[in-house]
Structure 1
Amino acid sequence: MTSSLSLKKILLADDDGDDRWFFLDFLKNRADIVILSSVTNGAELIAYLEAIKNEIDFPHLIILDQNMPKLNGKETLSALRADTRYNKIDIVIYSTYADQKLIQECTGLGAIMVLAKPVSFEGYNQMISSILSVI
């Protein structure tokens, strides 16, 4: 049995239902992972975090889709890094197309990884394994 202290809490922001399903399906049987929530845009993510009263309840990892309405991944990342309460949260950006400019901008803002969205279930499996290996 995994102790509650070793559980990794993840918050996912992606407006694409299929992409959310891939993440949630892959992670649902992981005893070391707790999905706190999945939201559809950066504004919802920030509202979710603002509602958390105790920092111990913050996620360890936030996964942000770059192309979301209201606040995209880079805008959300920038807002989160501007607030010192969220400095200890690891943030990953993923996008349909992760070019060198996006990678440089997002890592410069504090993302630990910037990845291109896979096109297959196996690709999601590999990407998620890669993300989890660094948190």
Structure 2
Amino acid sequence: MTSTIATRPVDLLLVEDQPSDAELTLRALRALDLGTRLHRIKDGAEALDFVFGRAPYTDRSVEDAPGLILLDLKLPKVNGHEVLRALKSDDRTQQIPVIVLSSSGERSDVERCYALGANSYVVKPVDFDAFTQTVQRIGTYWLDLSEGAGPCPA
């Protein structure tokens, strides 16, 4: 996806550097047909620029924050832990639900993410069908069923 979508509202921001995982995730979410506007970012630095409306996303505002962020941990430039820390330490973005979707099942990663304010931590299943079902369950809950998902009004 290109940055031309950046000016439109985004319901879900996927921060994932692995093309195959990103494609599977987006395909699983699109299959739900929730009318969700999706955007993918490939590294942590760009994710922060997108959410906070910094170059090259100066046409966006932090008030246009996504309703949900799916965040990988092992990202280039700025890792997922640092992205999570930045989002949850800023009053303007701390209410955005952030789901860590990582291949790491290390207890230290899980504990650190929750300590930083992650709303959920999900280990990516290796099996294709299990991966698809997991992503769809996340999407259904956070984008369709959960009350009050997204940033709270100021």
TM-score (norm. length: structure 2): 0.75
Counterpart Cα distance in 1 of 2:80 and 2:49: 15
Deviation at 1:70, TM superposition (A): 0.8
Matches within 5 A, 1:108-119: 108-119=115-126
How many residues get paired?
Answer: 127
Counterpart Cα distance in 2 of 1:17 and 1:79: 24
Structure 1: unaligned runs, 5 residues or longer:
1-7
Structure 2: unaligned runs, 5 residues or longer:
1-9, 54-59, 147-154
Counterpart Cα distance in 2 of 1:125 and 1:69: 24
Counterpart Cα distance in 1 of 2:67 and 2:128: 24
Counterpart Cα distance in 2 of 1:60 and 1:117: 21
Corresponding residue of 1:11: 13
Deviation at 1:127, TM superposition (A): 1.6
Counterpart Cα distance in 2 of 1:39 and 1:54: 16
Q: 1:103 aligned to 2:110?
A: yes
Question: Sequence identity of aligned pairs in percent?
Answer: 30
Counterpart residue identity of residue 59, structure 1: P
Deviation at 1:114, TM superposition (A): 1.1
The answer to whether the 8 A contact 2:29-2:136 is kept is no
Counterpart Cα distance in 2 of 1:130 and 1:110: 21
Matches within 5 A, 1:1-135: 9-29=11-31, 30-35=33-38, 37-51=39-53, 52-53=60-61, 55=63, 57-132=64-139, 133-134=141-142, 135=146
Higher strand share: 1
Greater shift, 94-103 or 66-75, is seen at 94-103
CA-atom RMSD in angstroms: 1.9
SS of structure 1 residue aligned to 2:92? helix
